[in-house]
Structure 1
Amino acid sequence: MKFILFIFCCGLLCFSAQAQKNVHSFVLGDSVFLLDGKPFQMISGEMHYPRVPKEAWRQRMKMAKAMGLNTIGTYVFWNLHEPQKDKFDFTGNNDIAAFVKTAQEEGLWVVLRPSPYVCAEWEFGGYPYWLQNEKGLTVRSTEAQYLAEYKKYIKELGKRLAPLQVNHGGNIIMVQVENEYGSYGKDKMYLDVNRKMFIEAGFDGLLYTCDPVRDVKDGHLDGLLPAVNGTDKPDEIKNLVRTNHDGKGPFYVAEWYPAWFDWWGEKHHTVPAEKYTPGLERVLSAGISINMYMFHGGTTRDFMNGANYNDRNPYEPQISSYDYDAPLDEAGNATPKFMDFRKVIQKNLPAGTVLPDVPAAKPVIKLPAINFTQATGLFDVLPKAKLNATPLTFEDLNQAYGFVLYRTDITGATSGLLKIKDLRDYGIIFINGKRVAVLDRRLKQDSVMITVPEGKVTLEILVENLGRINFGPYLLKNKKGITEKVLLGDKELNNWQMYSLPFDNINAIGLKNKKPAADAPVIKTATIELKEIADTYFDMHNWGKGVVWVNGHNLGRYWYIGPQQTLYVPAEWLKKGQNKIAILELLKTDQIILQSVEKPVLAELYPAIVK
């Protein structure tokens, strides 16, 4: 018995020692970060878990290690984790804790950015749509309803992520409070409320703020490290941090941009690596820590793209590809920029450090042409309508994303200006099932002359949410659909039927293989047999506008206007044997052939308007 007790005690002591060994300290020194008391330079890259298939997280992290990164940065997205009020989801690709643990297994630290607001070219800047249904709620403020919802959410995050901080044996070394708040406001009380909520939720490690150069003064909070975004000038970085941090460091560039994102109808953004390598060299050689935004962008799927808009510029919805011209491309392969950055990083690592070999590019295949022989008219699979005298917004319908069909009847022949006030964001207009016009918020289109024939006439307006604004004051004016009223001439049209079409589960739609009306949007389906699987790209050049799914996975939007003309198909979502493809096509409804290619096409614009 004594022997058994001895063995048990030894085991307990070993377990305790191992647990203690895994607990680290990460604190601020006067000029450097200190990890377990030793200087630590963060060389980090941003990568967002929902923009990469969960099955591919580890491969992307291995690529990060091969480039010389020691840390991964990621936002946490409220609208993914609480899609409806009080209904939380941390499963599948939303399993942020699994993402963090995978990074730890791959020897990477994590900088966590769980601010309720993320920007990130993400729908509503990460806020869940339903916040707009709470009357009087004001995001990014100390308004009581907002803080109450925010508190519930951050507590849910804390349950899952606070134990993964370094001071608890995990690999999260820093946690960001809010996100570039200085670009939005200067309410220090609001920032302090954020800080307190994080601590109450269990985030008791190192907290920091981040802001662009011009906004650091307004966005930092006394007592927290002020990180600086968008610069690679060591003197500027050090001066800004010291000025706002009691004359001390350490020094951290929380967002260093190796390129930029894209939006529909505008050119693809690329910047050669040689434009950035000198800045990267300056920062690293000065001992400054850095986070590349983005190291790997991936893809924004499931209608999660955001949009930009202000009083000077038009509405600009972002494309599905988040390639970002990043060092690691959309499919997770090393680019020339990756290799050039790797050389700079290698040069600035401690002597004798050997980086892992760069893995070869992933295999890619060109699929045989896919022939879509089955088609279902969208108007043939409508759900039950909701009736109202005036049009209801997406929010009124408790619908987050996708489409809404608005339908009403008109009696009597007439001609006049049909005006939608306000259309958000893309409307296809039908009279008696025939498409007569397309209105596009990007082009500031909200009206068109129409002719209504004699008798009882059905007017339909199919409205697509192209993405809620993710930056600036219009965060507070972000409802979707027909947000006010519809006028024909000087007469307001009433008695509307609204059909919600969120397309959140393509497999749940009861498709009917019957010939659709000529102009009606159509859902086309096909099954293909694969003997081998690898990455590929669907070539959407000959299609108009819509969404594609593979085996139930939303691959993103396509739109003939470009610049994106292909959709990335991850190998992880294909399978040997039968694979189901579905396409929602809004405009070119007679198209039946889908081709694939081995390389993405992200830089072709076609500005002509389909009528």
Structure 2
Amino acid sequence: MWPDLIKKAKEGGIDAIETYVFWNAHEPVRRQYDFSGNNDLIRFIKTIQSEGLYAVLRIGPYVCAEWNFGGFPMWLKNLPGVELRTANTVFMNEMQNFTSLVVDMVKEEKLFASQGGPIILAQIENEYGNVISSYGAIGKAYLDWCANMAESLDVGVPWIMCQQNDAPEPMINTCNGWYCDSFTPNNPNSPKMWTENWTGWFKNWGGKDPLRTAEDLAFAVARFFQFGGTFQNYYMYHGGTNFGRTAGGPYITTSYDYDAPINEFGNLNQPKWGHLKELHHALKSMEKTLTHGNITHVDMGNGVTATTYATDETTGCFFGNANTTTDATVAFLGREFNVPAWSVSILPDCRLEAYNTAKVNAQTSVMVKKKNAAESEPESLNWKWRPENTDETVVLGKGHLSLNQLMDQKMINDVSDYLWYMTSVNIEDDDPIWSRDLSIRVNGTGHILHAFVNSKYVGSQWAGYGVFNYTFEKKVKLKPGKNQITLLSATVGFQNYGPYFDTIASGVPGPVEIVGKKGDETIVKDLSRHKWTYKVGLHGEEKKLYRLDSRHASKWQADNLPVHRKFTWYKTTFKAPLGTDPVVVDLMGLGKGHAWVNGHSIGRYWPSYLAENDGCSLEPCDYRGTYDNNKCVSNCGQPTQRWYHVPRSFMTDAENTLVLFEEFGGNPSLVSFQTIAPGTVCGNAYENKTMELSCEGRPISAIRFANFGDSNGTCGALVTGSCQGRNDAISIVQNACVGKESCSIEASEEVFGSTNCDGVARKLVVEAVC
């Protein structure tokens, strides 16, 4: 997907692409490196270069990114004597080794700009300024070491440190956030740079869908450049997918769409992509003026500002209105300009408005999912199944290692989400706890716990996003003599952010207790220091049941398909949907687990986890006013994530295999494959602007609505307002657009005739069917 995504970014007016370098992906085992396939960093940078774009290499190597363990490999945490992100010799040696490795690879391919390559900036560390106060003096010593180490690598391009107000020279400190117009670098000679303009927000299991409007995002960008900005990067421009077990958090979803201008599946997120494209064009038309001009700034009060950039040959203007309710009139050079509330107008010549952030001329695309079956593919899938073999752990308590204590789950080097904790407890007839009302009580750390006592399932529990501890307690029946206690801990991505995030306990830190109650008297038997046996991962993982070449593939059962059964593997075959549209698999009806297509992990799934019920509004989102991730959310009470991306590169034209491990219990018969594409597109162009419509590679089949004047409603429910142009507007648009993949029409009286719209801003509004 890289070439297509990068091409779409370039078409959207992007001229540089940032990428993290994920240490845990590239060095999963100490001194064993992987830069192949999806981890081919050099190929990615060269793909950027082939489109004529620049690259920004954010090595980190701590990246945060809602990525598992912040991008650190788990073996790093388990090195003797290590302390992460501080002046610790063990950690710094490993960090320098990996950073040097990456730099040497890039230098060898001559990819730094100093060598004629595309990389214009490099980053060391990441948002350390947000946590440095917790590390004290050794944190400052580490920061200085980072700067010196980076400089010693002699890459020939500037090094940046984001969110680092005390970045030592020559490091350039940069801003991350929703708005960075008021940011000032700590060095007056440093450029004003914005490394992360958050286009939306990430999702967690139980969280709602974010929306940051195109108007507000454009306002933030235009205002940044109005106030002297020199470099701005979107986080994310393409959000993508947390395939495999890469999602961190814990509790970050497999989707990382981020409401980005290019959505998770590679489609254009309209109108955001198109509105920003127009903004980028306006800014680039002023490039020389902005980079060479003298700046004059006038504060007109009530949030209204006027900024002029002037050279000897050219002059450019920004008129800003940060008022959240009231439009403003700006008088300039004998003219008056209307600036809507919460918007910025850009005038490349200070005479004509070329762009206003509140006036969206881009189309809106309504994406639809279709059950687009392949030729001769049946509507429903034929499933096989097999149980996860739990006899060794639940019944016999056999494992890989034993300790006389409870173990942090990070100690297994993150080779699986699953770790079995097993012990036994002897209860004699004369034990004081015997005749009491008994329960098992476990202190867990926010991820998932399944408990078994004497081979019987007792119950499960988990916390939610941002919660690190919970107490599981269920009544149990014990017998005289030996009782087998088995706990299965399942992680959902390790903590990726915060001071000392690496020290947060995972799995079952304890205590684990048998609690007996009789009247007001309670007796507690603590099992935490018992001999615990551990088994890493699932039996099906060990046998690689998700792989096509698994030697155990013959043991699947076709009869008596169980549903709502915990710890069950399912398998089916399917043909890829016809065409080239992105493919998703709808996992509605399943509980929680992991999915693979042809052996490629498409990530964790958890459609049974519903988003919170509160906080969504039925009213259209008002772009005016400061944005945060709680504004303009949707999907309340619905599955946090129902559809999961299956890249076409994971599939073949012949038979494909889908394998599921179902942890909670669900019904696979409801699973289906679908394609995603624009179903309806609605064009919107102010008078004397050109409206562009596109169905992204498929023809426009019909025009449902067209009006030049004023129109009301939203895409799919448009109606004519108080004025309109010619009655044959639909025919005009039909002739220009139907049967074409894209079309352009000028919104003007010359095309659509005069209107009775005195005092009303005229727009061409069209609804087309793809």
For the aligned pair, the TM-score class normalised by the smaller chain equals 0.7 to 0.9
User: In 2 relative to 1, CA 203–516 (structure 1 residues): closer, same or farther, beyond 3 Å?
Assistant: farther
User: In the superposition, relative to structure 1, how do residues 410 and 370 fare at CA in structure 2: closer, same or farther (>3 Å)?
Assistant: farther
**Residues 110-121 of structure 1 correspond to what in structure 2 (within 5 A)?**
110-121=55-66
Higher relative contact order by CA 8 Å / sep ≥ 6: 1 or 2? 1
Name the residue aligned to 1:64: 9
How far apart are residue 305 of structure 1 and its match? 1.2
1:396 to 411, 435, 460: 411
1:252 CA drift (Å): 1.2
Counterpart of 1:170 in structure 2 is: 117
Provide the residue aligned with 1:158 in structure 2.
103
Distance 1:588 1:292 in 2: 39
**What is the DSSP-based 3-state SS (H/G/I as helix, E as strand, rest coil) of the residue aligned with 1:418?**
strand
Q: Secondary structure at the match of 1:396?
A: helix
- Which residue of 2 is the match for residue 609 of structure 1? none
1:416: which partner in 2? 438
1:524, 1:439 → 2: CA distance? 24
Kindly indicate whether residue 235 of structure 2 is the aligned counterpart of residue 189 of structure 1: no
Q: What code does the residue aligned with 2:381 have?
A: I
Say yes or no: does 1:497 pair with 2:442. Answer: no
Task: Provide the C-alpha distance between the structure 2 equivalents of 1:201 and 1:599, rounded to a whole number of angstroms.
Answer: 45
What is residue 709 of structure 2 aligned with on the other side?
Answer: none
TM-score (norm 1): 0.79
Counterpart residue number, 2:162:
210
CA deviation after TM superposition for structure 1 residue 352, in Å: 12
Pair 1:270-2:180 in alignment: no
**Counterparts in 2 of 1:364 and 1:76: CA distance versus 1, 3 Å:** farther
Shift in alpha-carbon separation, 1:509–1:110, aligned structure 2, 3 A: farther
What is the correspondence of 1:95-110 to structure 2 with a 5 Å cutoff?
A: 95-110=40-55
Q: Residue 533 of structure 1: CA displacement?
A: 6.0
CA deviation after TM superposition for structure 1 residue 445, in Å: 2.8
Q: Which protein shows a greater Rg?
A: 2
Cα offset for 1:418?
2.0
Which residue of structure 1 aligns with residue 753 of structure 2?
none
Alpha carbons of 1:583 and 1:189: their partners in 2 closer, same or farther (altered >3 Å)?
A: same
What's the counterpart of residue 446 of structure 1? 471
The structure 2 residue matched to 1:227, chosen from 158, 167, 174, is 174
Matches within 5 A, 1:489-568: 489=515, 490-493=524-527, 494-501=530-537, 503=541, 506-507=546-547, 510=552, 512-513=555-556, 519-530=565-576, 532=578, 534=580, 535-559=582-606, 560-561=608-609, 562-568=639-645
CA RMSD of aligned residues (A): 3.0
Moved more, 560-569 or 516-525: 516-525
Task: Provide the rounded CA distance (Å) in 1 between the counterparts of 2:213 and 2:478.
Answer: 57
Change in Cα spacing, 1:526 to 1:415, as seen in structure 2 (3 Å) is farther
In 2, the alpha carbon distance for the partners of 1:190 and 1:495 equals: 40
Opposite residue 344 of structure 1, the aligned amino acid is L
Stretch of structure 1 that moved more, 114-123 or 437-446:
437-446
1 CA distance for matches of 2:422 and 2:501? Answer: 29
Matches within 5 A, 1:19-418: 56-162=1-107, 163-185=110-132, 187-211=139-163, 216-218=164-166, 220-230=167-177, 232=179, 234=181, 236-237=182-183, 240-241=184-185, 244-245=186-187, 247-284=188-225, 286=228, 288-307=230-249, 317-336=251-270, 337-350=272-285, 366-367=372-373, 368-379=379-390, 385-412=400-427, 415-418=437-440
Q: Is the 8 A contact 2:77 2:84 kept in 1?
A: no
Aligned residues of 1:154 and 1:197 also touching (Cα < 8 A)? no
3-state DSSP of counterpart to 1:149: helix
CA distance in 2, matches of 1:77, 1:223: 25
Question: Greater CA deviation, 79-88 or 109-118?
Answer: 79-88
- Quick one: distance in 2 between partners of 1:341 and 1:381? 57
Matched position secondary structure for 1:498: strand
Counterpart-to-counterpart distance in 2, 1:477 and 1:78: 19
> Deviation of residue 66 (structure 1)?
0.8
Distance 1:142 1:287, change over 3 A: closer
1:427 alignment partner AA: L
Which stretches of structure 1, 4 residues or longer, exceed 6 Å deviation after superposition? 360-364, 380-383, 515-518
In structure 2, the partner of 1:28 is none
Amino acid at match of 1:472: G
| Residue identity matched to 1:492 | D
Offset, 1:471:
1.1
CA distance in 1, matches of 2:44, 2:392: 38
Would you say how many aligned residue pairs link Structure 1 and Structure 2? 522
- 3-state SS in 1 of match to 2:63: coil
User: Does structure 1 retain, via aligned residues, the 8 Å contact 2:587–2:670?
Assistant: no
User: Which residue type is aligned with residue 451 of structure 1?
Assistant: V
**Deviations for 1:174-199, whole angstroms, at most 9, x for unmatched residues?**
00121111101054432221123224
Change (3 A) 1:104 1:188: same
CA drift of 1:372 comes to: 1.7
Contact 1:371/1:593 (CA < 8 Å) preserved in 2? no
Structure 1: any 5+ residue segments left out of the alignment? Answer: 1-55, 308-315, 601-611
- Give the direction of change, closer, same or farther, for the CA distance of 1:181–1:129 in structure 2 (3 Å limit): same
In structure 1, distance between residues paired with 2:489 and 2:287 = 59
The range that moved more, 409-418 or 72-81, is 409-418
Cα distance between partner residues in 2 of 1:597 and 1:231: 34
Residue 125 of structure 1: CA displacement? 0.9
Q: Any conservation in 1 of the 2:444–2:470 contact (CA below 8 Å)?
A: no
Q: Partner of 2:335 in structure 1?
A: none
Q: Structure 1 387/249 Cα, relative in aligned 2: closer, same or farther at 3 Å? A: closer
Q: Distance in 2 between matches of 1:386 and 1:287?
A: 57
1:18 aligned partner: none
What amino acid is aligned across from residue 486 of structure 1 in structure 2?
V
Once the two structures are superposed, what CA deviation does each residue of 1:312-338 show, in whole Å capped at 9, x if it has no partner? xxxx52111000011110001101111
Structure 1 residue 430 corresponds to structure 2 residue 452? yes
Asked whether the equivalents of residues 589 and 667 of structure 2 are also in contact (C-alpha less than 8 Å), the reply is no
1:80-122 Cα offsets, whole Å, 9 max, x none, are 1111222221111111111101110111110110012111111
> C-alpha offsets along residues 475-510 of structure 1, whole Å, 9 cap, x if unaligned?
131443223442222223333332211759632584
Please point out which of 649, 663, 670 is paired with 1:586: 663
Aligned partner of residue 335 in structure 1, secondary structure: coil
Change (3 A) 1:390 1:232: closer
In structure 2, distance between residues paired with 1:144 and 1:277: 44
Provide, for residues 373-397 of structure 1, a one-character-per-residue CA deviation record: whole Å limited to 9, x for no partner.
2323242698953233333333333
Structure 2 CA distance, aligned partners of 1:93 and 1:373? 30
| SS at structure 1 position matched to 2:47 | helix
Distance in 2, matches of 1:409 and 1:510, equals 32
Q: CA deviation at 1:463?
A: 1.0
- In structure 2, relative to structure 1, the CA distance for the partners of 1:397 and 1:225 (3 Å cut) is closer
1:265·1:563 contact (CA, 8 Å) conserved in 2? yes
Structure with the bigger percentage of helix:
1
Contact 1:527–1:581 (8 Å) recurs in 2: yes
1:52 aligned partner? none
Instruction: Flag the 1:381–1:326 CA change in 2: closer, same or farther, 3 A.
Output: farther
**CA 381–196 in structure 1, closer or farther in 2 if over 3 Å, else same:** farther
- Give the 3-state SS of the residue equivalent to 2:97 in structure 1: helix
Query: In 2, distance between residues paired with 1:591 and 1:416?
Result: 37
Once the two structures are overlaid, the 10-residue window that deviates more, 110-119 or 518-527, is 518-527
Work out the percentage of aligned pairs sharing the same amino acid: 27
